[in-house]
Amino acid sequence: MIILGPNRYGKAETRVVRVTRHGDAHRLKDLNVSTSLSGAMDDVHLTGDNSAVLTTDAQKNTVYAFARRHGVGAIEDFALLLARHFVDSQPSVHRARVAVEEYGWERNAGSGHSFVRSGTEVRTCVAHHDGSGTWMVSGLRDLVVLNTTNSEFRGFAKDPYTTLAETGDRVLATAVNASWRHGAVPSGDPAPDGGRGAATDWDKSYESVRQALLAAFAGTYSRSLQQTLYAMGARVLADCPEICEVRLSLPNRHHFLVDLAPFGLDNPDEVYLAADRPYGLIEGAVLRDDAPGAGPAWD
């Protein structure tokens, strides 16, 4: 027997830039929004009946309309507003997933209207809503960090193909990709523009998690990137009680000492080759032992 399995559809990567103008002081929000809906959608697959389908074009237009009508503050609030709207407004939509990426901009030279992109780091969130429950995962991507010392790697397993030499002091660098699950999400409509109705200060929570990640990376004497990963996740949970689980993906951005002997020069740990590939990839989760179930949050 052949049956239809799990399915969903949506509009991927709707780019929206929202400018808020308060006199000469402007505020800029630069987002990439992906929406995905599922529910009573069997007929569209099995018979071609489209009557239950809210078009992906309408999903895109909703993103733009809500950016104008409600403004954009913390991306978590904007994602929640969209997810709840799609479920509440469409009888055939039982579950909504809204993923948002935010690209940071900083004011340029003290101007109220000139901006410069703030590095490679991207803030992220994924909101899920199914009418009875809501889940939120916040995160960041490509937060590049480097320690010039206080890192070693030795005592590892060896086989006939092992050529890596042990080291008691090395450069440790990575581009942090992290996501963290909130233990509870307030019910009711958020205030996407960050106004007084906002039930959770997502921006404050984000900054607290980010600072915890940075502090743990800088302050951990690392015997392996795995140890550093655990220290970073544990620091987030210790500093941020609203977070119940952290997932980290840490590519090891290798730095190799350059042999300068052919040029009659020594190299006392000063000149390195930064190799971009291949690279070690360390991944893991750190969570509270009493953390509530994740539901669809990580999907």
- The catalytic residue among 26, 56, 94, 255 is 56
Is the Cβ–Cβ distance between 189 and 84 less than 8 Å? yes
Known active-site residue 129? no
Q: 1-31 burial, b for 16+ CB within 10 Å, e for fewer? A: eeeeeeeebbbeebebebeeeeeeeebbbbb
Query: CA-CA distances (angstroms) from residue 145 to 42, 142, 230, 253?
Result: 47, 9, 16, 10
- The catalytic residue among 55, 129, 254, 255 is 254
Q: How many CB atoms lie within 10 A of CB 44?
A: 16
- The catalytic residue among 11, 85, 128, 182 is 11
The C-alpha R_g of the chain, in whole angstroms, comes to 23
Give the residue among 240, 242, 229, 245 at the shortest CA–CA distance from 181: 245
Known active-site residue 254? yes
Known active-site residue 11? yes
Q: Which residues have a Cβ under 8 Å from the Cβ of 54 and sit 6 or more positions away? A: 37, 86, 90, 92, 93
**Torsional sign, CA 79, 85, 88, 92:** negative
Q: How many CB atoms lie within 10 A of CB 203?
A: 16
Output phi, psi for 275, to 5 deg: -95, 130
Q: How far is residue 149's CA from residue 168's CA, in Å, rounded to a whole number? A: 10
Give the residue among 69, 101, 73, 74 at the shortest CA–CA distance from 85: 69
Q: Which residues are catalytic?
A: 11, 56, 254
